[in-house]
């Protein structure tokens, strides 16, 4: 292993590189833009561009690209080389400030939800100097935002930056009231824990479903799943370990704080968590991390699956969005400190989150909605589709005693006695973990656990930041100019907690009792994307985003349309893939096997009337019946897909796919899986669950 501190960030045009290479004045001017948002002079941009180019060429680059996050959920790039022809027929390598600052990709091929007619194809990408340029695959990548000719936002990055700005302004207002005169900027921080599966590449290539949809649409369970709990934190296999080392190195070079790696619950499932950083960087880094996970896997002859539910019967993959708020002076505003009962600043920020999550449960649910995530939420492996918060016994007791006007007796962390002399004593955490909660307080941050593994974390964080900015704004409005600030704060904490404590639930979120209890409390239970998404454009939500200038009402309507359309397209591709696999592979395979059984039975009979062919005959009978049933269920999917063309309303279409097509797909799969279990493996056209989940050694 090479020298990690030296390796770290070596492919990033970061602060150190800038300081080293840029003229002093240029460096200062750029810093002003990066830190204070000052406009960038074109002369400065020219020098920066030229320096970046020289640095990139030294690292083997020939091209540059504006790198952005359109609404497809993946990142986009278009590579241009640095070459510029000279009069004598040669070329020189050039990169101007103009090229650095602005790009003009054809916007018509990216989803816009009707924001832009195709004849108005022009779109702009604009450099985001708050995120560093980096080198990937021989190209200098410049993080940019993406908007249409008329200024509508077409990406996920711009609203994220806006939401961060909003929460900063409102938090600083509130901090001033508490006497903090030093903080000038507040940032939200995120550490996303990323789950994934690794399988052999040649096995992956033999599965049309994985290739086209990222998940298995057919497949009988292997005899062994995750029931022994022997994979979670288990010994990492040699090939996986090599992969993880290689991946860490690639990520470190790109300045990504890859930190923790371990096996997850399902066989072939793993996790990688970085050290947290500011939300916009964490978002870029998570996108790059997902891309590198796939690329490095290929290098190792494997395929990395980031789908939320690649395999039925074992856990799917999620992403835990650890979120907190901290000041530019280095204070974490969700840190309870030694004496949380008297830490009114902390308690006020805490109840701001409680109120925000309660009032905007629907938005947070929408922010994690996808066709893939519909397989997880509420399936006893991930939090349910119901939003609630875990505070732990101590914090709940503190808030309860505050409301009841009782002293809190504060029996907080106790010492853990292992009963073994040699083991050093250590303190128990004040709160135990609750793995079932969708939104858990974990000591000095909240862990939002409903995210699917493939989601771009920009969306949930745009929602979180804006929702909390709104609460902080309301609090600042209420507290500015009051006579007795201390008293007013305590009253506000009490009032807010009393009004919103229905969202707090410290029990088991996987239980049926909770579903009933949540209904009594009047909490939303939005089980699927088609059920959740209409709330995106509820009046109160449109008001929220308009007020904070994160989205215009038009942008929200367009995003709602895009998400619905993406869902419909995903299910349509899945249904078509099922039909293809059924007609081209599965039904013929069963016929071939039945023919071979028939041949065997006839051969036996021909040999002697004494020999029994009962096994063959029984199997022929069973498989023929199943095959007929399967064929009928496939026909049903076919018929449903024909009906689809009669529906023009996008919401209705999504309801139809979720309510009719999806259950029909499940029914067809059940029969196919039963046939697979009765077939000779030689005849089954696809690698089995056992091969997929257990072949990486
Ligand atoms: P686990 O939840 O699996 O036990 P950890 O407690 O180690 O994992 O933390 C998970 C993630 O939380 C890490 O990515 C870590 O960097 C992140 N994290 C820790 N503190 C903060 C914070 N203040 N803001 C955002 N993320 C944080
Ligand atoms: Mg976690």
User: How high is the pLDDT of residue 413?
Assistant: 47
Tell me what the mean pLDDT of segment 576-592 comes to.
98
Residue 224: band (very low, low, confident or very high) from pLDDT cuts 50, 70, 90: confident
- pLDDT range class, residue 587, cuts 50, 70, 90: very high
Tokens at residue 410, please? 């504060």
User: Of the ranges 224-238, 618-632, 661-675, which one carries the lowest mean pLDDT score?
Assistant: 224-238
The more confidently predicted of residues 335 and 406 is 335
Residue 189 Cβ inside 6 Å of ligand 1? The answer reads: yes
The reply to whether ligand 1 has any atom less than 6 angstroms from the CB of 286 is no
Residue 32 — pLDDT band, cuts 50, 70, 90?
A: confident
**pLDDT score of 148 more than 90:** no
State the CB neighbour count (10 A cutoff) for residue 577. 20
Average pLDDT over every residue of 351-380: 95
- Tokens linked to 525: 């239970």
Mean pLDDT, range 614-641, rounded to an integer = 98
The pLDDT > 90 percentage for the chain reads: 81
Q: How far is the CA of 40 from the centre of ligand 2 (A)?
A: 40
Average confidence (pLDDT) over 383-391: 94
Ligand 1 closest atom vs CA 323? 25
Instruction: Report how far residue 171's alpha carbon sits from residue 185's, in angstroms, rounded to the nearest whole number.
Output: 8
Whether 373 shows a pLDDT value over 50: the answer reads: yes
525: Cβ contacts below 8 Å, ≥ 6 apart? 384, 385, 386, 515, 518, 519
pLDDT attached to residue 231: 80
CB 346 within 8 A of CB 445: no
Q: Does the pLDDT at position 122 exceed 80?
A: no
Of 310-324, 379-393, 423-437, 583-597, the poorest mean pLDDT is in 423-437
Q: Which domains does the chain have, with CATH numbers?
A: 4-155 (3.10.20.70), 163-218+225-410+441-551 (3.30.590.10), 567-693 (1.20.120.1560)
The pLDDT, as a whole number, for residue 230 is 81
pLDDT of residue 285: 96
- When pLDDT is cut at 50, 70 and 90, the band that residue 391 belongs to is very high
CB 356 less than 6 A from any atom of ligand 1: no
Out of 186, 193, 265, 282, mutate this one to test ligand 1's pocket (max ligand atoms within 8 Å of CB): namely 193
Closest by CA to 156, choosing from 166, 143, 167, 168, is 143
Query: Which of these, 177, 163, 215, lies nearest to 550 by C-alpha position?
Result: 163
Would the CB of 285 count as within 6 Å of ligand 1? no
pLDDT band at residue 435 under the 50/70/90 scheme: confident
For residue 341, the cross-strand partners are: none
Least confident span in 119-133, 147-161, 284-298, 621-635: 119-133
**3-state per-residue secondary structure call for 591-646:** HHHHHHHHHHHHHHHHHCCCCCCHHHHHHHHHHHHHHHHHHHHHHHHHHHHHHHHH
Neighbouring C-beta atoms of residue 8, cutoff 10 Å: 18
The CB of 685 under 6 Å from ligand 1? The reply is no
Q: Does residue 152 carry a pLDDT above 90?
A: no
Mutate to test the pocket of ligand 1, among 262, 270, 322, 447 (most ligand atoms within 8 A of CB): 322
What confidence score (pLDDT) does residue 421 get?
60
Q: How confident is the model at residue 71 (pLDDT cuts 50, 70, 90)?
A: confident
Provide the CA 108 distance to its chain's centre, in angstroms: 26
Please tell me the predicted confidence (pLDDT) of residue 415: 52
Judge contact between 362 and 535, C-beta under 8 A.
yes
Could you tell me the pTM of the whole model? Answer: 0.94
Confidence at residue 104, expressed as pLDDT on a 0 to 100 scale: 78
Q: Is the pLDDT of residue 694 over 60?
A: yes
For residues 276-281, give the mean pLDDT.
95
Region 315-336: what's the mean pLDDT? 96
In sequence order, the 6+-apart residues with CB closer than 8 A to the CB of 63 are 79, 80, 81, 82, 138, 139, 140
Selection from 221-225, 258-262, 498-502 with the highest mean pLDDT = 498-502
**Taking 60 as the threshold, does the pLDDT of residue 662 lie above it?**
yes
78-113 b/e (C-beta count within 10 Å ≥ 16 → b): eeeebeeeeeeeeeeeebebebbbebebebeebbbb
Residue 146's DSSP bridge partners are 125
Model confidence band, residue 130 (pLDDT cutoffs 50, 70, 90): confident
Residue 660 DSSP symbol:
I
Strands 63-68 and 139-148: parallel
SS3 682: coil
**How confident is the model over 444-466, as a mean pLDDT?**
97
Residue 328 pLDDT level (bands cut at 50, 70, 90): very high
> What does the mean pLDDT of the chain come to?
92
Report how far ligand 1's centroid is from the alpha carbon of 123 (Å): 37
Q: What percent of the chain has pLDDT over 70?
A: 94
Count of CA atoms in the C-beta half-sphere (13 A) of 479: 26
pLDDT tens readout for residues 406-427: 877 665 445 555 556 665 555 5
Among all bound ligands, the one having the nearest atom to the CA of 325 is 1
Q: Is 596 exposed, middle or buried (0-12, 13-18, 19+ CB in 10 A)?
A: middle
At residue 119, the pLDDT reads 46
Ligand 1 center to 22 CA (angstroms): 35
Residue (of 119, 115, 89) closest to 106 by Cα position:
119
pLDDT at residue 369, as a whole number: 97
Mind listing the pLDDT tens digit for each residue in 195-205? 999 999 999 99
Does the pLDDT of residue 109 top 90, yes or no?
Answer: no
pLDDT score at 490: 96
Per-residue pLDDT tens over the stretch 255-275: 999 999 999 889 999 999 999
- CA-nearest of 356, 325, 364 to 171 is 325
Q: What would the mean pLDDT of 641-657 be, rounded to a whole number? A: 96
Lowest mean pLDDT among 113-117, 149-153, 194-198, 260-264: 113-117
Report for 2-11, 73-82, 377-386, 622-631: range of highest mean pLDDT: 622-631
How many A from CA of 191 to the centre of ligand 2? 9
Cβ 113 vs Cβ 107: under 8 Å: no
C-beta of 275 in contact with ligand 1 (< 6 A): yes
């Amino acid at each position: 292993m090479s020298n990690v501190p030296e390796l770290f960030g070596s492919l990033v045009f970061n602060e150190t590189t800038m300081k080293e290479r840029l003229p002093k004045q240029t460096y200062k001017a750029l810093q002003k833009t990066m830190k204070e948002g000052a406009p960038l002079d074109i002369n400065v941009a020219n020098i920066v561009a030229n320096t970046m180019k020289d640095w990139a060429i030294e690292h083997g680059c020939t091209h540059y690209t504006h790198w952005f996050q359109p609404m497809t959920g993946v990142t986009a790039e278009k590579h241009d080389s640095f070459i510029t022809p000279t009069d004598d027929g040669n070329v020189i390598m050039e990169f101007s400030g103009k090229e650095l600052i602005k790009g003009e990709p054809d916007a018509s091929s990216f989803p816009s939800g009707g924001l832009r007619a195709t004849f108005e194809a022009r779109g702009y990408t604009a450099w985001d100097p708050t995120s560093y340029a980096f080198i990937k695959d021989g190209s200098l990548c410049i993080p940019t935002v993406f908007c249409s000719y008329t200024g509508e936002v077409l990406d996920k990055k711009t609203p994220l930056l806006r939401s961060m700005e909003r929460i900063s302004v409102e938090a600083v207002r509130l901090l001033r009231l508490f006497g903090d005169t030093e903080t000038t900027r507040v940032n939200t921080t995120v550490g996303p824990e990323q789950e994934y599966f690794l399988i052999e590449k040649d096995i992956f290539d033999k599965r049309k479903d994985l290739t086209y949809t990222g998940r298995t649409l057919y497949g009988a369970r292997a005899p062994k799943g995750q029931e022994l709990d022997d994979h979670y934190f288990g010994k990492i296999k040699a090939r996986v370990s090599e992969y993880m080392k290689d991946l860490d190195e690639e990520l470190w070079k790109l300045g990504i704080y890859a930190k923790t790696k371990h096996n997850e619950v399902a066989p072939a499932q793993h996790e990688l968590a970085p050290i947290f950083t500011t939300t916009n960087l964490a978002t870029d880094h998570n996108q790059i991390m997902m891309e590198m996970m796939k690329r490095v896997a290929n290098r190792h002859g494997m395929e990395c699956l980031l789908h939320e539910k690649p395999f039925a019967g074992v856990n799917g993959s999620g992403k835990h969005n650890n979120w907190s708020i901290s000041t530019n002076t280095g204070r974490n505003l969700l840190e309870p400190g030694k004496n949380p009962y008297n830490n009114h600043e902390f308690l006020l920020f805490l109840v701001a989150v409680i109120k925000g999550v309660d009032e905007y449960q629907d938005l947070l649910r929408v922010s994690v909605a996808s066709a893939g995530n519909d397989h997880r939420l509420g399936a006893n492996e991930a939090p349910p589709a119901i939003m609630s918060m875990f505070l732990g016994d101590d914090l709940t007791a503190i808030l309860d005693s505050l409301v009841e006007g009782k002293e809190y007796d504060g029996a907080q962390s106790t010492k853990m006695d292992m009963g073994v002399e040699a083991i050093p004593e250590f303190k128990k955490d004040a709160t135990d973990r609750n793995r079932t909660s969708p939104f858990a307080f974990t000591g000095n941050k909240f862990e939002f656990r409903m995210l699917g593994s493939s989601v771009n974390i920009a969306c949930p964080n745009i929602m979180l930041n804006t929702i909390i900015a709104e609460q902080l704004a309301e609090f600042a409005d209420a507290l500015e100019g009051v006579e007795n600030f201390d008293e007013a704060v305590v009253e506000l904490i009490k009032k807010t907690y009393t009004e919103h404590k229905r969202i707090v639930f410290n029990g088991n979120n996987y239980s049926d009792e909770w579903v009933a209890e949540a209904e009594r409390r009047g909490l939303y239970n939005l089980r699927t994307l088609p059920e959740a998404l209409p709330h995106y454009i509820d009046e109160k939500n449109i008001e929220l985003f308009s007020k904070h200038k994160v989205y215009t009402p038009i942008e929200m309507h367009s995003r709602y349309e895009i998400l619905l359309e993406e869902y419909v397209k995903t299910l349509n591709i899945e249904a078509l893939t099922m039909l293809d696999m059924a007609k081209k592979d599965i039904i013929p395979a069963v016929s071939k096997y039945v023919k071979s059984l028939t041949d065997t039975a006839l051969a036996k009979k021909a040999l002697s009337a004494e020999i029994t062919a009962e096994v063959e005959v029984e199997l022929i009978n069973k498989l023929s019946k199943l095959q007929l049933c399967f064929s009928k269920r496939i026909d049903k999917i076919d018929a449903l897909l024909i009906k689809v063309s009669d529906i023009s309303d996008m919401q209705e279409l999504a309801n139809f796919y979720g309510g009719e097509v999806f259950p029909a797909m499940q029914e067809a799969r059940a029969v196919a899986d039963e046939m697979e279990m009765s077939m000779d493996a030689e005849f089954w056209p696809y690698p089995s669950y056992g091969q997929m989940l257990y072949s990486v050694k």
